[in-house]
Structure 1
Amino acid sequence: MKRLVLAMLLAVGLGYVIVGQQSVQVMAQEQKPEVGYQAPHFTLTGLNNQQYHVAGKREKPVIINFWASWCGPCKMEAPDLQKVYEMYGKKVDLYGVNVTSNDNPEAAMQFVQSHKLSFPIPMDVTGSVSDRYKIMAFPTTYLVDREGIVRQKIIGMIDAKTLEKELQKLLAD
């Protein structure tokens, strides 16, 4: 009798482990702008007319920062993003996605020039990418690993020191 109960408990426990592993794999395959899920794929044209892609596995992790030129916290955060880009640009891609559907291209260009931003600025003209990422506030930043999995979602301003700390974790993986 004890062996039967033990065998049943073992079978149930093993079942939970198998189901748990499968659900983690499903999360990593499903595109959703949440930690543990595949980052939603996109292709946008930048201010420099180059195409920028986020789609699954990549050589380097990527920081995706959604911003608008009229956003006060975005203005305060911009120098820190530039500093991080200068320090980590060879190890990490950084995309400053301007949500142009809530902004205008001239103001975005002026913002980039006044803050001397040298990282890529993809333009979300239609708002489709910000919709897929469920952007409700500016700035919002996503840290995505080499596998294309969202590792961190930061709503609001982030300073260089905090971003560097999070990047160290991302690069260690």
Structure 2
Amino acid sequence: MTKLRFGVTYALLFVAIGGIGVLIYQFYNNDTPVYAYQMDESIMLQDLSSRSYVSIDYSDKPTVLLFFTSWCPYCNEDAPKIVELHDKYKEFINVYGINVIQRDELSEVIGYVEKHNIDYPVLLDESNQLYTNYGSHGFPSMFFITPKGKTIDAIVGSADMAYIEESFLKLMN
């Protein structure tokens, strides 16, 4: 009986360690695309400031799409980081803030933009379609897109400045 418990304990331990190893490998494996969605056409969304519909232009230079809501604490935590990186790299990278307006109030979005002094375009995903196309993973969600429309990196949730900047630099190269 003792040998049976001993064997079962080691078998369970072996399976647990193997499972953790697989998770770690998947987390750090950067050889596969992050998300399969490919931007192959122009996306039209309503601009927060002008209320007109504008096209997301990812063909002239690399583009960062940042999905956010005004009530999300992590979005509020990362907003100053994105503003700083946009100011630093705006000659090389387009940044679009995309509010998932179905989960927010317009007045709150305006207040969020003013509070964080956001000067990159903020667009409203009224139908939730673009957010859905990217998998609806949480807030904030950043997708790093090449001029050919391929998503090469993504960050879901809050991240430190160095990690976000590393993704900006990866996109520029």
Give the TM-score taking structure 1 as reference length.
Answer: 0.73
Check whether the contact 1:46–1:120 (CA below 8 A) recurs between aligned residues.
yes
Matches within 5 A, 1:48-127: 48-49=49-50, 50-54=52-56, 58-127=59-128
Q: CA deviation at 1:59?
A: 1.1
3-state SS of paired residue (2:124): coil
Q: What is the CA–CA distance in structure 1 between the aligned matches of 2:47 and 2:60, rounded to whole Å? A: 20
3-state SS of paired residue (1:59): coil
Alignment correspondent of 1:39: 39
Check whether the contact 1:139–1:156 (CA below 8 A) recurs between aligned residues.
yes
* Structure 1 stretches lacking a partner, 5+ long: 1-27
**Deviation string, structure 1 residues 48-74 (Cα, Å, up to 9, x no partner):** 22544347x611000001000000000
**Deviation string, structure 1 residues 74-124 (Cα, Å, up to 9, x no partner):** 000000000001001111000010000110111000000011111110011
* Structure 2 stretches lacking a partner, 5+ long: 1-32
Q: What is the CA–CA distance in structure 1 between the aligned matches of 2:73 and 2:40, rounded to whole Å? A: 27
Q: CA deviation at 1:46?
A: 1.2
Q: CA deviation at 1:45?
A: 1.3
Q: CA deviation at 1:126?
A: 2.1
Q: What is the CA–CA distance in structure 1 between the aligned matches of 2:157 and 2:54, rounded to whole Å? A: 23
Q: What is the CA–CA distance in structure 2 between the aligned matches of 1:127 and 1:88, rounded to whole Å? A: 28
Check whether the contact 1:40–1:132 (CA below 8 A) recurs between aligned residues.
no
CA gap 1:78/1:159 in 2 versus in 1, 3 angstroms? same
Alignment correspondent of 1:170: 171
Query: Alignment length, in residue pairs?
Result: 139
- Give me the CA root mean square deviation: 2.0
Q: CA deviation at 1:40?
A: 6.2
Q: What is the CA–CA distance in structure 1 between the aligned matches of 2:160 and 2:146, rounded to whole Å? A: 20
Q: CA deviation at 1:127?
A: 1.3
Identity %: 24
3-state SS of paired residue (1:122): strand
Give the TM-score taking structure 2 as reference length.
Answer: 0.73
Alignment correspondent of 2:26: none
Q: What is the CA–CA distance in structure 2 between the aligned matches of 1:136 and 1:146, rounded to whole Å? A: 23
Read off the aligned partner of 1:97 and give its amino acid letter: I
Q: CA deviation at 1:147?
A: 1.1
Alignment correspondent of 2:154: 153
Read off the aligned partner of 2:106 and give its amino acid letter: P
Read off the aligned partner of 1:120 and give its amino acid letter: P
Q: What is the CA–CA distance in structure 1 between the aligned matches of 2:54 and 2:90, rounded to whole Å? A: 15
